């Protein structure tokens, strides 16, 4: 009988299993652009190997490479390193260890095939994806930022940069990386002779973006090696000042890890200083927004009165109502981030 190479347990079962663990976990990420000849076979091998080591998290595999954000039991960390190094696609791939880690970043193992490891919207055959920008260390990135002529560009989405970013960076107001790249290029299209510094969470978005910046005529393109995650590790190790202010948004249950003590964003419901992202407690909404502790208590973790009312309905009625709602309905938000169109409704519910 062929082994089942995907999760079959419920969300509640998986979360309880995680809560019952008596050991520590290490949260980390890695990526590599490499031509994978048989993504399906590689996916199955990796899923089985990860499962045997107790790995949790998300890994995306495509013909162009791999992008992985996972947690591993601390006692299996060396075994994970050996496993990864044993495969030609992954040998010596750098691990980026999480800044803040409570061991609860993931509760489920997902290893999934995708058309691309990052949805960038680019036609790779139209430019040289290997002609990337210069990789800068944290020290080099800081020094480059000291020049008033340098242009720093955040390649992350608006909900990421809202809670933390590099000083004086250009922050494209976009929901997805597919949108971010053309917007960023348009904002600096008349500055192709300037020094460009690109950064993102772990570096993977910059790899493709820097090549595209060079393709469209920018002459001095640079990228932060290892992204914000490795930047923090380097400045701590070398005693360097942090030019990143606030929190680094991460795509797991933590939703952020603190880089500096600055709180640069506000609660979307009352306007008080806050950089705590949460997902609406109404699972039919699950909107990502910033909510302070007071509003979380007052609004029961929900984004609006509509959602508070919904979660208090009998479960059977909730199921019945969900079946009748189209996915574009205003009370059934499936997008990750775009809070602002609903701020009026959210602000109205202040108790």
* End-of-domain residue from the set 113, 134, 161: 113
Is 264 within a domain?
A: no
In a domain, 269, yes or no: no
- The answer to whether residue 257 is domain-embedded is no
Active site residues: 200
pTM score over 0.85: no
CATH of the domain at 106: 3.30.70.100
Query: Which pLDDT does position 316 carry in this prediction?
Result: 84
Residue-level length of the chain? 351
At residue 221, φ and ψ (nearest 5 deg) are -105, 130
Judge whether 218 lies within some domain: yes
* CA distances from residue 170 to 2, 105, 180, 213 in whole angstroms, order as listed: 51, 29, 11, 15
Residues 6+ apart with CB under 8 A from 170: 151, 152, 153, 154, 184, 187, 188
From the list 348, 339, 264, the residue with the least C-alpha distance to 299 is 348
Q: Say whether both 96 and 132 belong to one domain.
A: no
Residue 60, domain member (yes or no): yes
Query: What distance in Å separates the CA atoms of residue 194 and residue 149, rounded to the nearest whole number?
Result: 7
Q: Answer yes or no: is 245 within a domain.
A: no
Question: With contact defined as beta carbons under 8 Å apart, do 319 and 311 qualify?
Answer: no
Please give the DSSP secondary-structure letter assigned to residue 88. T
Q: What angle do the packed helices 138-145 and 227-238 form, to 10 degrees? A: 90
Do residues 28 and 104 share a domain? yes
Question: Packing angle between helix 177-187 and helix 204-215, nearest 10 degrees?
Answer: 40
Q: Report the number of distinct structural domains present in the chain.
A: 3
287 and 210 share a domain?
no
- Identify the domain boundary among 238, 269, 291: 238
CATH number at residue 193: 3.40.250.10
Query: Same domain for 222 and 296?
Result: no
What is the average pLDDT score of the chain?
A: 89
213 and 291 inside one domain:
no
Separation of alpha carbons 286 and 303, rounded Å: 9
Quick check: 228 and 204 in contact, CB under 8 A?
no
CA angle 21, 26, 30 (to 5 degrees): 135
Average pLDDT across each block of 10 residues of the chain; the chain has 351 residues. List them in order.
Answer: 70 89 94 94 96 96 94 97 96 90 87 92 88 96 95 96 96 93 95 97 93 96 95 95 95 87 95 95 89 96 92 86 57 41 42 36
Q: Which domain holds residue 316?
A: 277-348
Report the alpha-carbon distance of residue 173 to residue 187 in Å, rounded: 11
Rg (CA), the chain: 21
* CA of residue 81 relative to chain centroid, distance: 22
* CA pseudo-torsion sign 113, 119, 121, 127: negative
Same domain, yes or no, for 109 and 136? no
73 within domain boundaries: yes
In a domain, 327, yes or no: yes
The pLDDT score that the predictor gives to residue 324 is 62
Instruction: Map tokens 């919207």 to a residue.
Output: 121
* Alpha-carbon gap, residue 239 to 208, rounded angstroms: 30
């Amino acid at each position: 009988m062929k082994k089942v190479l995907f999760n079959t347990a419920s969300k509640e079962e998986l979360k309880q299993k995680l809560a019952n663990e008596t050991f520590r976990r290490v949260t980390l990420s890695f990526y590599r652009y490499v031509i994978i000849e048989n993504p399906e076979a590689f996916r199955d091998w990796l899923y089985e190997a990860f499962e045997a080591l107790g790995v949790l998290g998300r890994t995306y595999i495509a013909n162009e490479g791999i992008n992985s954000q996972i947690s591993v039991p601390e006692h299996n960390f060396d075994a994970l390193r050996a496993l990864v190094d044993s495969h030609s696609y992954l040998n010596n791939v750098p691990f980026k260890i999480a800044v803040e880690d409570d061991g609860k970043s993931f509760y489920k193992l997902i290893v999934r095939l995708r058309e691309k490891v990052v949805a960038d919207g680019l036609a790779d055959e139209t430019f040289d994806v290997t002609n990337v920008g210069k990789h800068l260390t944290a020290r080099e990135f800081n020094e480059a930022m000291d020049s008033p002529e340098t242009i720093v560009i955040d390649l992350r989405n608006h909900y990421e940069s809202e809670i933390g970013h590099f000083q004086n960076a250009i922050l494209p107001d976009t929901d997805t990386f597919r949108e971010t790249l053309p917007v960023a290029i348009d904002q600096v299209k008349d500055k192709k002779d300037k020094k460009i510094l690109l950064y993102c969470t772990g570096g993977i978005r910059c790899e493709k973006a820097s090549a595209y910046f060079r393709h469209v005529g920018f002459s001095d393109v640079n990228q932060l090696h290892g992204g914000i995650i490795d930047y923090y590790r380097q400045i701590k190790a070398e005693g360097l000042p942090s030019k990143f202010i606030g929190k680094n948004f991460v795509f797991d249950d933590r939703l952020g890890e603190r880089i500096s003590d600055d709180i640069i964003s506000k609660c979307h419901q009352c306007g008080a200083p806050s950089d705590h992202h949460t997902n609406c407690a109404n699972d039919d909404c699950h909107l990502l927004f910033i909510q302070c502790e007071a509003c979380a208590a007052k609004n029961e973790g929900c984004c609006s009165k509509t959602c508070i009312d919904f979660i208090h309905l009998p479960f059977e009625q909730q199921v019945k109502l969900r079946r009748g709602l189209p996915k574009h309905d205003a009370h059934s938000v499936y997008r990750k981030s775009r809070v602002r169109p609903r701020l009026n409704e959210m602000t109205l519910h202040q108790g």
